[in-house]
C-alpha cells in the first residue's frame, strides 16, 4: 500500500497508525516530527506530476483544504483520490475511521478511542462566552457557518458570533469585529500565524486568546488533547 496525503491532519493520523504506507505529503505536513517522505508541494498547489510519479494506491484529500482542479488532475492521471468532508467533531471521527480503513489499518487505533473519550465531556468555561474568530488578516477573515473549528469551540462553551453568516469564511471589516464586543477574540496560529505581537493589538480593550491552530482545526491524533489544551488557553484569556 502506497499513500500520499494532501492534508496535514490526515498525514499525522496515517503516520502514527500505519507509517509504512505513507510515501508522500505536503510541505505543511509537520507532524509527526521528522516525517521522512517525499514532499509534494502545498495543500493549495500540490505538484500533481510528482504525486503521479510516486505511483500511490491512494491520495488523501479534503474538500475544503484542497482545490477541486488539482484533485481532478490526479484522477485524470489514473489515481484514486479519497476526499474527506469534516464540518464537526462527530463527522471527524467517522471520516478518520474511513481514511484509516482505506489505508489498510488494523482495528481502531488507541489514539482514536482516546480522542472520542476526550470529547465525550469536554471541559469548558463555567458560563458560555461569545467570540469572534479571525483566521486571516489583510483582509480580516473570520469563522462563519458550518465549520469544524466552530463546532470545536461550541463544544467548549464558546459561541462565535458569525456562526449564522451566509459564508463559511466571511471577510468582515475590523471596525465591525470590534463593535461586536465579544467576550473573547480567539486567535489561532494557523492558517494565519497570529502571535502575541501580531493580532491582539488590533482589538484594544478586548480579551484575546492565542490558541493552537493544530488543536483547533486538525482532525487526527491531536483531537485527544485538544479539549484540554484549548480550554486552558480560553480560560487563561478570561482571567
Residues 51-75, mean pLDDT to the nearest whole number: 97
Q: Average per-residue pLDDT in the chain?
A: 95
Q: Which residue has the cell 476526499?
A: 83
What tens digit of pLDDT does each residue of 189-200 get? 999 999 999 999
Determine which helix (DSSP H) or strand (DSSP E) holds 38, and give its type and residue range. Answer: strand 38-39
Residue ranges of domains in the chain, CATH in brackets: 3-108 (3.40.50.1980), 120-238 (3.40.50.1980)
> What's the pLDDT at 237?
87
Residue whose grid cell is 449564522: 164
Q: How confident is the model at residue 239 (pLDDT cuts 50, 70, 90)?
A: low
Q: How far is CA 168 from CA 131, 145, 172, 190, in A?
A: 16, 5, 12, 16
- The whole-number pLDDT of residue 186 equals 98
Q: Where is pLDDT greater, at 239 or 227?
A: 227
Q: How confident is the model at residue 42 (pLDDT cuts 50, 70, 90)?
A: very high
- Give 126's pLDDT tier (boundaries 50, 70, 90): low
Asked whether 158 and 188 are in contact (CB, 8 A), the reply is no
Residues pairing with 130 in the sheet: 159
Q: Is the pTM of this model over 0.85?
A: yes
Q: In the structure grid, which three cell numbers stand for residue 43, read together?
A: 495543500
Q: What is the pLDDT of residue 122?
A: 85
Model confidence pLDDT, tens digit, residues 221-233: 999 999 999 999 9
pLDDT at 125 over 70: no
pLDDT at 89: 97
H or E element that contains 98: helix 89-102
96: exposed, middle or buried (Cβ count in 10 Å: 0-12, 13-18, 19+): buried
How many Å apart are CA 23 and CA 227, to the nearest integer? 31
Q: Is the pLDDT of residue 208 over 70?
A: yes
Helices 89-102 & 110-120 angle (0-180, nearest 10)? 170
* Neighbour tally for 66: CB within 10 Å: 24
Task: Please give the Cα distance from 97 to 217 (Å, whole number).
Answer: 18
Tens digits of residue pLDDT in 164-188: 999 999 999 999 999 999 999 999 9
Residue range 129-161, pLDDT digits in tens: 999 999 999 999 999 999 999 999 999 999 999
- Return the pLDDT at 22: 97
Q: How many helices (H) and strands (E) does the chain have?
A: 9, 11
Q: Is the dihedral of CA 90, 94, 100, 106 positive or negative?
A: positive
The pLDDT > 70 percentage for the chain reads: 98
Are residues 136 and 171 in contact, defined by beta-carbon separation less than 8 angstroms?
no
Amino acid at each position: 500500500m502506497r499513500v500520499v496525503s494532501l492534508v496535514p491532519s490526515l498525514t499525522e493520523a496515517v503516520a502514527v497508525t500505519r507509517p509504512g504506507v505513507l510515501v508522500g505529503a505536503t510541505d505543511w505536513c509537520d507532524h509527526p516530527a521528522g516525517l521522512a517522505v517525499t514532499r509534494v508541494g502545498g495543500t493549495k498547489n500540490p505538484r500533481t506530476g510528482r504525486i503521479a510519479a510516486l505511483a500511490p494506491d491512494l491520495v488523501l484529500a479534503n474538500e475544503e483544504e484542497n482545490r477541486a482542479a488539482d484533485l481532478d488532475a490526479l484522477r485524470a492521471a489514473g489515481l484514486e483520490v479519497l476526499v474527506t468532508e469534516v464540518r464537526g467533531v462527530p463527522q471527524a471521527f467517522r471520516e478518520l475511521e474511513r481514511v484509516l480503513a482505506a489505508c489498510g489499518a488494523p482495528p481502531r487505533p488507541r489514539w482514536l478511542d482516546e480522542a472520542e473519550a476526550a470529547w465525550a465531556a469536554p471541559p469548558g468555561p463555567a458560563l458560555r462566552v461569545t467570540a469572534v474568530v479571525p483566521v486571516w488578516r489583510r483582509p480580516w477573515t473570520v469563522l462563519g457557518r458550518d465549520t469544524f473549528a466552530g463546532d470545536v469551540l461550541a463544544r467548549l462553551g464558546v459561541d462565535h458570533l458569525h456562526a449564522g453568516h451566509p459564508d463559511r469564511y466571511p471577510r468582515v471589516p475590523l471596525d465591525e469585529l470590534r463593535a461586536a464586543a465579544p467576550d473573547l477574540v480567539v486567535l489561532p496560529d494557523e492558517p494565519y500565524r497570529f502571535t502575541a505581537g501580531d493580532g491582539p493589538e488590533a482589538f484594544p480593550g478586548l480579551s484575546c486568546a492565542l490558541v493552537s491552530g493544530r488543536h483547533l482545526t486538525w482532525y487526527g491524533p491531536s483531537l485527544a488533547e485538544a479539549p484540554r489544551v484549548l480550554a486552558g488557553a480560553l480560560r487563561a484569556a478570561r482571567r
